């Protein structure tokens, strides 16, 4: 049993909610940040004390990682981030760790911030000192009218300045979050976005297709016809365009929505270690309200409400809302569902090690069918999605979920008041 290698920290605060978002985050509760940070530290201390072990078979050959996600982690002060990292050090080894933080370019706007010295450049400089070595910038699009429609509070110019500041400070790992399939977005606009961000030469790109979530305000606007999304064909073309242009620019689409630079000869690999832990179905801890962790043999989800979360931790109880116990079949299904998202696919030895059984013994028939349909390809080491399979990945992934299975039992620990 070794120490856990990966930690997710959720920062559920935003100045403003984007209209497509249905993540757990709260606008207008920034006065709780200080108490929240204290609670996260306390939760981390609890995790350290419990001393979760991760068996070797649930560890991927990755560097350790911490990922600050949100919400808007860039609303935290450098001092708050420093405290969290310092506490996290009791939980996992940080030497050589990838420590990422999501940044909203809108976090450096607004009256007074500049006077307080909260410029992007100053802020990033501090982050670098705290040990943050990877930034993920939420650019989304560089088309100003579209940014306004989706409720982003920054302009394209501010995103450019933000990227520039991160570069100048010397961050060696910068990732950009981009989205296509946005309301009113055209192929030409998306092409212009792609061309510009390629020119920036970020080390990493996450490109997501907008997903209309029922609980997000955008859903209503689209349902009522106030906004129109690009049709399926246009959205497909946008994705095809992304695959093509990023490949031409030398990026490897190492996951359905993620691109990095990989050059084994030059020893270059800018893949996100933290997200790879998810795709490889490794163990990872999570802290903060609504955070989701995976510690064999269970997944857990923390309480989502900020105040409930703080209260629970203050009472010295773990703020977990549900544990989902995973059986072997779940492990197999999830290893495939996640692993096939990678361009390297699922290695048989990894599957054997992770699930305790041979891939073909469990899924031989399914694999054969999907290969025959031209959705999967395989050799003596691994199985992976074809280009067509990547385009319609859901049709592939769902074949590994047991039909009609209720999934694992979710055990609510308390009323989710």
Partner 1 sequence: MSHQQYVRNFSIIAHIDHGKTTLSDRLLELTGTISARERREQLLDAMDLEREKGITIKAKAVCMRYTAPDGQAYTYNLIDCPGHVDFTYEVSRALAACEGALLVVDAAQGIEAQTLANVYLALEHDLVIIPVINKIDLPGANPEQVAEEIEHVIGIGREDIILASAKAGTGVPAILEAIAERIPSPRGQVDDATRALIFDSHYDAYKGVIAYVRVVDGMFPADTRVQFLGTKAQADILEVGVFRPAMTPLEQLSAGDVGYIATGLKTVEDCQVGDTITLAERPANKALPGYRPAKAMVFAGLYPIDSNAYTDLREALEKLKLNDAALSFEPESSSALGFGFRCGFLGLLHMEIVRERLEREYQLELLITAPSVEYQVLQTDGEIVAVDNPSTLPSPNIIASIEEPMMHISVIAPSRYIGAIMELVTTRRGSLDTMDYLDPQRVLLKYYIPLAELVIDFYDQLKSRTQGYASLDYALSGYQEANLVRLDILVNGQPVDALSMIVHRDSAYNRGRELVARLVKIIPRQMFEVPIQAAVGSKIIARETVRAMRKDVLSKCYGGDVSRKRKLLEKQKEGKKRMKMVGNVEIPQEAFMAILSLDGKDS
Chain residues binding partner 1 by CB under 8 A are 8, 10, 23, 69, 206-209, 211, 232-233, 235-236, 239, 256-257, 275, 278, 284, 286, 291-294, 299, 301, 324, 333-334, 337-338, 373, 390-395, 397-398, 401, 403-404, 407
Nearer to partner 1, 186 or 408 (CB): 408
Please tell me what DSSP assigns to residue 89: T
- Tokens linked to 258: 């993620």
For residue 305, give Cα distances in angstroms to 13, 101, 168.
11, 22, 37
Q: How far apart are CA 321 and CA 97, in angstroms?
A: 29
Residue 274 Cβ vs partner 1, minimum distance, rounded to whole Å: 9
Rg (CA), the chain: 21
Nearer to partner 1, 120 or 342 (CB): 342
Residue 299 Cβ vs partner 1, minimum distance, rounded to whole Å: 6
Q: How far apart are CA 6 and CA 378, in angstroms?
A: 30
- Angle subtended by helix axes 328-339 and 359-372, to nearest 10: 40
Cβ atoms of 6 and 292 within 8 Å: the answer is no
Residue 264 Cβ vs partner 1, minimum distance, rounded to whole Å: 25
Quote the Cα angle for 304-309-314, to 5°: 175
Nearer to partner 1, 189 or 335 (CB): 335
Residue 43 Cβ vs partner 1, minimum distance, rounded to whole Å: 16
Residue 224 Cβ vs partner 1, minimum distance, rounded to whole Å: 20
Nearer to partner 1, 211 or 228 (CB): 211
**HEC per residue, 317-356:** CCCEEEEEECCHHHHHHHHHHHHCCECCCEEHHHHHHHHC
Report helix, strand or coil for 407: coil
Q: What is the helix (H) or strand (E) element at residue 103, kind and residue range? A: strand 98-103
Q: How far apart are CA 246 and CA 205, in angstroms?
A: 9
Q: How far apart are CA 351 and CA 333, in angstroms?
A: 10
Secondary structure (DSSP) of 353-382: HHHSS-HHHHHHHHHHHHHHTTSEEE-SSE
Residue 47 Cβ vs partner 1, minimum distance, rounded to whole Å: 15
Quote the Cα angle for 170-174-175, to 5°: 170
Nearer to partner 1, 143 or 390 (CB): 390
Residue 223 Cβ vs partner 1, minimum distance, rounded to whole Å: 18
Residue 285 Cβ vs partner 1, minimum distance, rounded to whole Å: 10
Nearer to partner 1, 314 or 328 (CB): 328
Nearer to partner 1, 113 or 212 (CB): 212
Residue 12 Cβ vs partner 1, minimum distance, rounded to whole Å: 11
């Amino acid at each position: 049993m070794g120490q856990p290698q990966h930690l997710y920290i959720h920062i559920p605060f935003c100045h403003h909610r984007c209209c497509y978002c249905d993540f757990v985050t709260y606008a207008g509760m920034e006065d709780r940040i200080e108490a929240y940070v204290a609670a996260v530290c306390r939760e981390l201390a609890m995790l350290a004390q419990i001393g979760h072990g991760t068996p070797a078979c649930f560890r991927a050959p990755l560097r350790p990682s911490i990922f600050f996600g949100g919400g808007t982690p860039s609303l935290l002060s450098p001092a708050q981030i420093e405290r969290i990292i310092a506490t996290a050090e009791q939980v996992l080894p940080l030497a050589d760790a990838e420590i990422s933080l999501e940044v909203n370019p809108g976090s450096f706007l607004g009256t007074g911030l500049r006077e307080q010295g909260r410029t992007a450049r100053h802020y990033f400089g501090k982050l670098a000192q705290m040990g943050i070595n990877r930034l993920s910038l939420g650019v989304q699009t560089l088309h100003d009218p579209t940014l306004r429609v989706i409720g982003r509070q920054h302009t394209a110019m501010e995103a450019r300045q933000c990227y520039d500041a991160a570069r100048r400070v010397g961050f060696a790992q910068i990732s950009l979050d981009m989205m296509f399939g946005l309301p009113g977005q055209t192929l030409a606009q998306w092409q212009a976005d792609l061309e510009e961000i390629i020119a920036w030469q970020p080390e990493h790109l996450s490109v997501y297709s907008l997903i209309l979530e029922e609980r997000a305000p955008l859903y209503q606007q689209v349902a009522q016809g106030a906004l129109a999304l690009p049709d399926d064909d246009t959205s497909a073309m946008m994705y095809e365009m992304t695959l093509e242009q990023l490949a031409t620019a030398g990026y490897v689409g190492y996951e359905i929505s993620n691109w990095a630079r990989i050059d084994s000869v030059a020893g270059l690999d800018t893949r996100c270690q933290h997200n790879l832990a998810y795709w490889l179905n490794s163990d990872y801890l999570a802290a903060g309200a609504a955070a989701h962790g995976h510690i064999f043999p269970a997944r857990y989800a923390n309480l989502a409400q900020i105040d409930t979360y703080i209260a629970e931790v203050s009472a010295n109880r773990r703020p977990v809302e549900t544990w989902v116990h995973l059986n072997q079949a779940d492990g197999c299904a999830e290893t495939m569902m996640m692993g096939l998202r990678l361009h390297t696919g699922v290695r048989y030895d990894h599957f054997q090690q992770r699930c305790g059984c041979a891939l073909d013994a469990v899924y031989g028939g399914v694999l054969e069918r999907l290969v025959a349909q031209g959705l999967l390809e395989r050799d003596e080491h691994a199985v992976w999605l074809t280009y067509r399979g990547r385009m319609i990945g859901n049709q592939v992934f769902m074949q590994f979920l047991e039909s009609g299975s209720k999934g694992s039992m979710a055990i609510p620990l308390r009323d989710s008041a």
